[in-house]
């Protein structure tokens, strides 16, 4: 038994109103992949930020190689040999790969030497990268490579990976795991943060499970079942959403030949997208973020205008209509970004309710908002969707991610849509709220609406969709029945490893 | 010929230098992700402090230094308000311009029309006597060459040094820069102070070297043109030089056209540099994606370290 490389002893960090970490102690040995497991809000992020020197703990200490380790800033952590790959990439889109990597290093070599080093190390670990490309032009998987290479160039002793697979296709995950195992065999300790149990069982040697800021268990992932770990993580067993599958009805939404040029320089063009959804059906659209999801949602919601006949809602051409006209006809959308797109952060729940529900719920009279009935509508959403909030007059920003998401989805569902489009309905939402949202979507479909779910969470899509199709670089695959579809097949539909290969001579071009 | 091309070129270079100095400072500020609309105010403060120093000390060099300090002090107000107290950058910048205009009028009371030390050209008369290129290339004071050198220096630092890379990174995404451990607020404050010093120097050049007098509100919108120039140049230093000469050329030309008494109303000629500014900005802004490609992505966004 080797002595630990890194240890935390009684780490505690409190924010106003919440204890993010409460007396957290765990240890990692050299050459070990250690999982940090927990729901959103369990305190994983605060803990790794503490280790990386971005947050100062209120109490407790850390030991690194047996000596006290208290980094005052990330620079000190990097100097000690701790490197981190972030959940939301800490990359600069308008800068090149080499510039991005240089920014994360203490003493970067000259640009030409650095480019050579990047090519060399990336080939060595099977992660080829071109140092001169702009990061904005890279796929999500390639961007993650940039972060990993940035860490590897500093020869870290402890590598922290915060939810690294959430943006990868199954094949890309395999490549990543291969790299991580190689690093482990070279003696690097890896702290692997995730809430995906299968990955942890496949990859990790030890696991520490956090719930509400406390360590509730440690285990060896290979020896316990995923269900056991899930129960430890959530604190209760979860019911899977269910519904009675009925025969699909008439076609409610028909999309054909939809092509869109993106408005932003790093957007993805949509190319000849076509599909139809029937009443009572859930269509799942999978794909890694940045493959045209936002553009597709904008085209369906009416934020982007397209030729009228490319989108038909019950045979009415709606392509050239704006969002309010589409809402009036029954086509509703809930976009991905909760704060800023689906909801106005600084406005109250009542005010947010009027923003999309005005037309269908008749919340205004002669252009004046009827605040009474709007408040009633907001209260109805809160009650029916179990939104935990002190009241309707609370700013949207003040709600937790899961609660706001329930509100945003509920606001659309209760308007009784004919077609509902949701993008990432359960992103960053805790497991019980996610289950409630999925159930609401299924109930809506059972009631005769057509539901389109755009998501990166493939498990979610396979669970609730009737048919599944994949969005890859702005192209939509032909839909296939979701039942019986294997992860492998789904991965191939998603474009496989996105032109990413493990290093081969011809792949290094 | 109603306009002499050689004297037009000479005038163009002189007229465009204050624009260039103020714009190169603002370019650095905007590259760090901060939008300081107070350029006009910092310029006029630089103009008045520079002029006062020239009158009191008789030294042109000290006058330029005083102008820089004046602009820098005014920009430090902006830096504290927007970076430490997280005030809105647009509103604070506008307030800075209004404050600068008022304060400069107060400071300048009684100074207008005082005799000034002359600003010497640096090249010997022999070189200036070379036909055509003599007056254009060698017939200027040191500040004009320094302004061009400053553009080159800013270009070099931004594209070839680590400090420049960090500055660009902060302007691109302050969250990512913060996560990597860079001091976003400190870097932005330094950039703002640099921009203030440049604007102050630009103002001092205007009052001490070009006009050689102090007149209330003498910048007359040059600060705003400098701001427009940064967008015109799509945040690239060398394009800034072209832009400044273009705008300076229009300003110099319209003065000569007025003198030549051609049949265009004087008011229209006076307004022409501003009209062209609006026109050029409209044309440049029409290609949205190209503009977004070069603009610092975090421009004008407030950075809060805890979020």
Q: What is the mean pLDDT of residues A462-480?
A: 89
pLDDT of residue A509: 34
- pLDDT classification of B261: cutoffs 50, 70, 90: confident
Distance from CA of A255 to the nearest CA of B (A): 27
Is residue B270 included in any domain, yes or no?
A: yes
Range from A133-142, A336-345, A494-503 carrying the lowest mean pLDDT: A494-503
Is residue B304 included in any domain, yes or no?
A: no
Q: Which of B166, B177, B289 sits opposite A265 (nearest CB)?
A: B289
- pLDDT classification of B298: cutoffs 50, 70, 90: confident
Q: Which of B173, B182, B293 sits opposite A265 (nearest CB)?
A: B293
Which of helix, strand or coil describes residue A313?
strand
* ipTM of model: 0.80
Q: What is the mean pLDDT of residues B97-118?
A: 89
Is residue B194 included in any domain, yes or no?
A: yes
Q: What is the mean pLDDT of residues B9-22?
A: 92
Q: Which of A53, A91, A99 sits opposite B176 (nearest CB)?
A: A91
Is residue B42 included in any domain, yes or no?
A: yes
Is residue B128 included in any domain, yes or no?
A: no
Q: Which residue does chain B place closest to A147, by CA atoms?
A: B180
Chain A residues whose beta carbon lies within 8 Å of the beta carbon of residue B293: 94, 265
pLDDT tens figures, B60-106? 999 999 999 999 999 999 999 999 999 999 999 999 999 999 999 99
pLDDT tens figures, B133-190? 888 888 788 889 999 999 999 999 999 999 999 999 999 999 889 888 889 999 999 9
Q: What is the mean pLDDT of residues A214-232?
A: 84
In angstroms, rounded to a whole number, what is the distance separating the alpha carbons of residues B285 and B281? 6
Is residue B307 included in any domain, yes or no?
A: no
> For the purposes of burial, counting CB atoms within 10 Å of the CB of A168, is it exposed (0-12), middle (13-18) or buried (19 or more)?
buried
Best interface-test mutation with B: which of A92, A93, A150 has the largest number of B CBs within 10 A? A92
Interchain proximity B289–A264, CB inside 8 Å: yes
pLDDT of residue A502: 47
Distance from CA of A155 to the nearest CA of B (A): 17
pLDDT of residue B129: 81
In angstroms, rounded to a whole number, what is the distance separating the alpha carbons of residues A89 and A288? 14
Interchain proximity A94–B179, CB inside 8 Å: no
pLDDT tens figures, A320-361? 999 999 999 999 999 887 877 889 888 999 999 999 998 888
Q: Which residue has the higher pLDDT, B307 or B82?
A: B82
pLDDT at A504 over 50: no
- Across the A:B interface, residue pairs with CB atoms under 8 Å apart total 54
Distances (CA, A) of B165 to A148, A265, A314, B192, B234: 20, 21, 54, 17, 17
Is residue B126 included in any domain, yes or no?
A: no
CATH classification of the domain holding B290: 1.10.3470
Chain B residues whose beta carbon lies within 8 Å of the beta carbon of residue A90: 173, 175-176, 179-180
Chain A residues whose beta carbon lies within 8 Å of the beta carbon of residue B169: 92, 95, 99, 103
pLDDT tens figures, A54-69? 888 999 999 998 889 9
Chain A positions contacting chain B at CB under 8 Å are: 53-54, 73-75, 78, 86, 89-95, 99, 102-104, 108, 263-265
pLDDT at A239 over 70: no
pLDDT tens figures, A73-99? 888 888 888 988 876 667 888 888 999
pLDDT of residue B39: 96
pLDDT at A493 over 90: no
pLDDT of residue A497: 52
Interior angle at CA A68, CA A65 and CA A73, nearest 5: 100
Which ranges of A191-263 does DSSP label H, i.e. alpha helix?
197-203, 226-234
Which of A179, A102, A167, A97 is CA-nearest to residue A138? A97
What is the percentage of chain A residues whose pLDDT exceeds 90? 28
pLDDT at A491 over 50: yes
- Structural domain of residue B93, as residue ranges? 5-116+134-294
pLDDT at A446 over 80: yes
- pLDDT classification of A127: cutoffs 50, 70, 90: confident
Is residue B129 included in any domain, yes or no?
A: no
Q: Which residue has the higher pLDDT, B191 or A161?
A: B191
- What is the overall mean pLDDT for chain A? 85
Q: What is the mean pLDDT of residues B120-131?
A: 81
pLDDT tens figures, A169-211? 777 888 889 889 998 999 899 999 887 777 888 889 999 988 8
Total domains present in chain B: 1
Q: Which of A94, A103, A264 sits opposite B180 (nearest CB)?
A: A103
Best interface-test mutation with B: which of A79, A103, A107, A112 has the largest number of B CBs within 10 A? A103
Q: Which of B166, B172, B179 sits opposite A86 (nearest CB)?
A: B179
Interchain proximity B168–A90, CB inside 8 Å: no
Chain A residues whose beta carbon lies within 8 Å of the beta carbon of residue B288: 263
Interchain proximity B181–A108, CB inside 8 Å: no
Please name each of the domains of chain A with its CATH number: 6-234 (3.40.50.300), 251-493 (3.40.50.300)
pLDDT tens figures, A14-51? 877 678 888 999 999 999 999 988 876 678 888 888 99
Which of helix, strand or coil describes residue A237?
coil
Q: Which residue has the higher pLDDT, B274 or A404?
A: A404
Interchain proximity A90–B169, CB inside 8 Å: no
Strand partners, A369: A364
B200, B72 in Cβ contact below 8 A? Answer: yes
pLDDT at B31 over 60: yes
Place of tokens 């779910």: A453
pLDDT at B307 over 70: no
C-alpha Rg value of chain B to the nearest Å? 19
């Amino acid at each position: 038994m080797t002595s630990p490389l890194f240890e935390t002893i009684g780490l505690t960090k409190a924010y106003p109103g919440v204890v993010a970490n409460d007396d957290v102690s765990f240890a990692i040995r050299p050459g070990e992949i250690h999982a940090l497991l927990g729901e959103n809000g369990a305190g994983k992020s605060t803990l790794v930020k503490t280790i990386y020197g971005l947050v100062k703990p209120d109490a407790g200490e850390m030991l690194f190689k047996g000596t006290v380790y208290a980094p005052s800033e990330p620079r000190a952590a990097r100097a000690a040999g701790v490197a981190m790959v972030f959940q939301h990439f800490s990359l600069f889109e308008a800068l090149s790969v080499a510039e991005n990597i240089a920014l994360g290093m203490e003493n970067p070599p000259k640009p030409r030497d650095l480019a050579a080093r990047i090519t060399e190390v990336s080939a060595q670990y099977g992660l080829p990268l071109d140092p001169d490309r702009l990061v904005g032009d890279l796929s999500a998987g390639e961007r993650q490579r940039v972060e990993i290479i940035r860490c590897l160039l500093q020869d870290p002793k402890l590598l922290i990976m915060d939810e690294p697979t959430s943006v990868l296709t199954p094949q890309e995950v395999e490549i990543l795991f291969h790299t991580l195992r190689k690093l482990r065999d070279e003696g690097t300790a890896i702290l692997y943060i995730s809430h995906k149990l299968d990955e942890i069982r496949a990859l990790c040697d030890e696991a520490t499970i956090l719930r509400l800021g406390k360590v509730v268990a440690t285990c060896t992932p290979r020896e316990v079942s995923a269900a056991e770990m899930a129960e430890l993580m959530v604190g209760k067993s979860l019911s899977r959403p269910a519904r009675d599958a009925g025969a699909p009805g008439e076609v409610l939404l028909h999309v054909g030949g939809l092509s869109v040029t993106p408005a932003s320089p790093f957007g993805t063009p949509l190319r000849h997208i076509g599909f139809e959804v029937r009443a009572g059906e859930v269509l799942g659209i999978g794909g890694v973020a940045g493959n045209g999801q936002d553009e597709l949602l904008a085209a369906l919601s009416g934020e982007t205008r397209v030729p009228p006949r490319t989108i038909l809602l019950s045979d009415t051409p709606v392509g050239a209509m704006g969002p309010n006209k589409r809402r009036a006809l029954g086509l509703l959308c809930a976009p991905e970004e909760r704060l800023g797109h689906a909801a106005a952060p600084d406005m109250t729940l009542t005010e947010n309710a009027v923003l999309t529900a005005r037309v269908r719920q008749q919340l205004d009279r002669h252009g004046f908002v009827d605040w009474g009935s709007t408040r009633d509508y907001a209260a109805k959403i809160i009650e029916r969707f179990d939104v935990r909030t002190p009241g309707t007059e609370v700013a949207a920003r003040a709600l937790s991610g899961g609660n706001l998401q329930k509100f945003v989805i509920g606001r659309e569902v209760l308007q009784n849509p004919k077609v509902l489009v949701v993008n990432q309905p359960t992103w960053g939402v805790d497991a019980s709220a996610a289950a409630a949202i999925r159930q609401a979507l299924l109930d809506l479909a059972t009631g005769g609406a057509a539901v389109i779910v755009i998501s990166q969470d493939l498990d979610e899509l396979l669970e609730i969709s009737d048919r599944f199709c994949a969005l890859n670089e702005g192209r939509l695959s032909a839909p296939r029945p979701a039942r019986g579809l294997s992860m492998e097949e789904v991965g191939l539909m998603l474009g496989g490893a996105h032109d990413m290969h493990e290093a081969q001579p011809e792949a290094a071009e | 010929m109603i306009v002499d091309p050689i004297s037009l070129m000479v005038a163009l270079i002189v007229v465009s230098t204050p624009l260039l100095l103020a714009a190169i400072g603002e370019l650095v500020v905007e590259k760090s992700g901060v939008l300081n609309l107070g350029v006009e105010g910092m310029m006029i403060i630089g103009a008045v402090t520079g002029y006062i120093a020239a009158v009191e000390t008789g030294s042109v060099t000290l006058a330029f230094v005083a102008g820089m300090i004046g602009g820098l002090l005014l920009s430090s107000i902006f830096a504290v308000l927007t970076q430490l107290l997280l005030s809105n950058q647009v509103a604070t910048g506008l307030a800075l311009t209004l404050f600068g205009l008022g304060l400069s009028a107060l400071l300048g009371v009684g100074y207008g029309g005082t005799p000034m030390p002359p600003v010497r050209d640096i090249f010997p008369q022999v070189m200036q006597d070379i036909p055509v290129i003599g007056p254009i290339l060698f017939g200027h004071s040191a500040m004009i060459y320094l302004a061009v050198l400053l553009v080159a220096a800013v270009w070099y630092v931004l594209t070839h040094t680590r400090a420049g890379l960090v500055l660009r990174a902060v302007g691109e995404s302050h969250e990512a820069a913060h996560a990597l451990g860079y001091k976003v607020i400190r870097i932005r404050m330094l950039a703002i102070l640099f921009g203030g010093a440049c604007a102050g120097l630009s103002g001092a050049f205007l009052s001490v070297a070009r006009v050689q007098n102090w007149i209330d509100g003498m910048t007359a919108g040059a600060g705003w043109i400098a701001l427009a120039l940064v967008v015109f140049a799509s945040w690239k230093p060398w394009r800034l030089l072209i832009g400044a000469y273009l705008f300076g050329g229009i300003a110099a030309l319209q003065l000569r056209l007025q003198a030549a008494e051609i049949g265009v109303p004087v008011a229209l000629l006076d307004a022409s540099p501003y009209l062209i500014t609006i026109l050029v900005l409209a044309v440049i802004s029409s290609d949205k994606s190209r503009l977004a490609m070069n603009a610092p992505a975090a421009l004008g966004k407030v950075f809060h370290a805890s979020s």
